Amino acid sequence: MRKLRVVAILLLVSLTAGACLQKMNKKNDSNIRIKERTSPNLIVILADDLGYGDVGFNGCKDIPTPNIDRIASQGVKFTNGYVSYAVCGPSRAGLITGRYQDQFGFSRNPLFTPNDPEMGLPLTEETLAEALKKTDYKSIALGKWHLGAHESLKPLERGFDDFYGFLTGGHHYFPEKWVLQDEFEVKSQYDAYKTKLLRNSKRVEETEYLTDALSREAVQYIDKYKDSSFFMYLAYNAPHTPLQATEKYLNRFDTIQNKKRRTYAAMVSAVDDGVGRVLEQLEALKLTEKTIVVFLSDNGGPEPHNGSDNGELRGMKSDLFEGGIRVPFAMQWPGTIPSGMVYNKPVISLDIFGTIINQTKKTIKTKNKIDGVDLMPFLLGENKEAPHDYLFWRKYDEQIYAARNASGGKFVVKDQDTMLFNLDNDISETENLIRNSKNKLDSLEQVFNMWNLGNMDPVFMGLIHNKKYNELNPDRFEKLESKNN
Ligand code: CA
């Protein structure tokens, strides 16, 4: 009897210990992941005005994008990948801060105003480069900046160690068109497309087609920083207008009859080549498994302007229908994220910030509360919930609003017309369900209104105020002496 009791006690002890161990192991599993944090590199490859349907991994037929597709096949393709705004500037402000840009009044495309310290990303905001500087990262910005042209707002003032590119919202692609020495030779908003490129704060004589030059720089900077952790923000302006491509790329698309589409295809192909060069450089330097690579577009394609194609999505750049905000979006981290994954729950560009700051060896405390979340637990199956219960969009000047939930419900308010869609079975937003689903609308609107309470009015005039800004600031492009001099 006594023997039996001892056996029973022993059994109980071992069972309890087993359960405890199991619990500890589970805890340890996550601890192991934390311990193994290696401060991976991050390369964000941002295309400009690329349509949802214009990459192979989203079904594009006439423009091969084998290298961009490789990111999706070596990692995860996000089918419901969003940006936080439907045009360039605010979308970039969201991505680089991990916050909805409406929260700090960046709700318009900024003007090119080199004397205006208010025109761009407010200094209250912390960029991803600044956050990563708190640990052991080097950061490089390449290509289009668009977050301010004033001295205090340039990339090197915002946490980046290196910059090669241009400050405004677009640029000519051929070096012979870069005739202006600096920003003070600019005489109008779109003159800025003609400035010589900047390397850090110096103007340079570049001789390559712009997309190729940016790819070359990316490859070189990866080599330069191969021994440290780095963040590379590779912001191609392609395939944003003006539509300009070299024969090398145009020759690949002899079969496309439409001239606009053909040039667009050539520009996308140049970006794809660049992505290939970046991935090959990572391979050559044995950095592939140490590097998270994200590819996305800053907004949907403006179809009639650049010949892009948003596939089955309704609307285009500037719309809060899916065609304006749902973008090609893929991420690889071989050895950590399983290859060939398709993730269907909604994610947003703000999550890039949320993800990387949770992978660094040293914990980073951000200056502001960010809206992006760490996607890793979701991609590794540790968390089966949706990363976001809701996503929000606001176009302040036009009073257009949208919100969606994780189960496909989306509302759009435009021209005082309120629409409700179920994206899960109507990705093209063809059927307005508002009459039959008043309750769903009410709850989405309520959540949106709560979110909107935390937003600010725009803090600077935008592209639409170009004329008015010129009237108020006749010295807009004059080189003013610094107040400190
Ligand atoms: Ca854009």
Same domain? 398 vs 281: no
3 pLDDT above the threshold of 70: no
Quick one: which of 296, 393, 388, 319 has its CA closest to 52? 296
pTM as predicted? 0.92
Q: What spacing in Å lies between the alpha carbon of 299 and ligand 1's midpoint?
A: 5
| Section 27-50 average pLDDT | 74
Q: What spacing in Å lies between the alpha carbon of 298 and ligand 1's midpoint?
A: 5
Reduced to 3 states, what is the DSSP secondary structure of residue 459? Answer: coil
pLDDT in tens, 267-320: 999 999 999 999 999 999 999 999 999 999 999 999 999 999 999 999 999 999
Pairing of strands 41-47, 291-297: parallel
- CATH code at position 395: 3.30.1120.10
Reduced to 3 states, what is the DSSP secondary structure of residue 482? Answer: coil
Q: How far apart are CA 197 and CA 194, in angstroms?
A: 9
Same domain? 334 vs 413: no
Same domain? 238 vs 373: yes
137 part of a folded domain: yes
484 pLDDT above the threshold of 90: no
Q: What spacing in Å lies between the alpha carbon of 385 and ligand 1's midpoint?
A: 31
CA–chain centroid gap for 231, Å, is 13
Q: What spacing in Å lies between the alpha carbon of 108 and ligand 1's midpoint?
A: 12
Q: What is the DSSP string of 42-100?
A: EEEEEESS--TTSSGGGT-SSS--HHHHHHHHHSEEETTEE-SSSSHHHHHHHHHHTS-
Please report the sign of the dihedral spanned by the C-alpha atoms of residue 213, residue 129, residue 55, residue 169: negative
303 within 8 A of 310, measured Cβ to Cβ: yes
Same domain? 249 vs 397: no
Q: How far apart are CA 387 and CA 373, in angstroms?
A: 7
Per-residue pLDDT band for 24 (boundaries 50, 70, 90) equals: very low
- Residue located via tokens 């059994």: 11
Considering its fold, how many domains does the chain have in total?
A: 2
Pairing of strands 162-166, 198-199: antiparallel
Same domain? 80 vs 125: yes
| Of 26-35, 101-110, 328-337, 451-460, the least confident | 26-35
4 pLDDT above the threshold of 50: no
479 part of a folded domain: no
Average pLDDT along the chain: 92
Q: What spacing in Å lies between the alpha carbon of 85 and ligand 1's midpoint?
A: 10
pLDDT in tens, 236-247: 999 999 999 999
399 part of a folded domain: yes
Per-residue pLDDT band for 437 (boundaries 50, 70, 90) equals: confident
Q: Which domain holds residue 190?
A: 38-379
pLDDT in tens, 257-280: 999 999 999 999 999 999 999 999
2 part of a folded domain: no
476 pLDDT above the threshold of 80: yes
pLDDT in tens, 387-418: 999 999 999 999 999 999 999 999 999 988 99
Q: Is 317 exposed, middle or buried (0-12, 13-18, 19+ CB in 10 A)?
A: buried
21 part of a folded domain: yes
Q: Is 295 exposed, middle or buried (0-12, 13-18, 19+ CB in 10 A)?
A: buried
| Of 28-32, 81-85, 138-142, 445-449, the least confident | 28-32
Amino acid letter at 52? Y
Kindly list the catalytic residues. 88, 146
